[in-house]
Amino acid sequence: MREAVRKNFYSSYRVGMKNEPTNILQYADDTVFVGEATWDNVLVFKAMLRGYEMVSGLKINYAKSQFGVIGGVVTWTNEAAQTLNCRQLETPFTYLGIPIGAKPSSSVVWEPLIKKYSTKGSK
């Protein structure tokens, strides 16, 4: 990933006031790749996954893998997921207990916190 970004093959997603490039998040056995929603990124990403399989001898379980774009066009996302041989990620979804892709004012964001607080208060 570092090499692909360094050679401008992969466009990272930029976050925050300083436009920090973000392209990979990992926790335990989960990996989330982050980048601009472009066909170039999809194709480079597919090549990187194949290269990983060839070098490591491990196989990626595409049946468990998902591809999604937050705020993107659903038809494009579906085509990209098919290109990567994985399922399309439905939004909003929860990652590490945090709802991703939901509007901040949505009850989906606040309901788990309210429920957790209510449960602790009744003990």
Q: What is the pLDDT of residues 63-107, one digit of tens each?
A: 999 998 887 778 899 999 999 999 998 888 877 777 777 777 777
Report the relative pairing of strands 66-67 and 87-88 from DSSP bridges.
parallel
pLDDT at position 59? 94
pLDDT at position 122? 59
DSSP 36: -
Other Cβ atoms within 10 Å of 23 Cβ, number: 19
Report the chain's mean pLDDT, rounded to a whole number: 87
Q: Which residues contact 87 (CB under 8 A, 6 or more apart)?
A: 63, 65, 66, 67, 81
The backbone torsions φ and ψ at residue 95, rounded to the nearest 5 degrees and listed phi first, read -130, 120
pLDDT at position 107? 74
pTM: 0.76
Whether residue 121 has pLDDT greater than 70: no
Residue in the structure block whose two tokens are 């006031």: 17
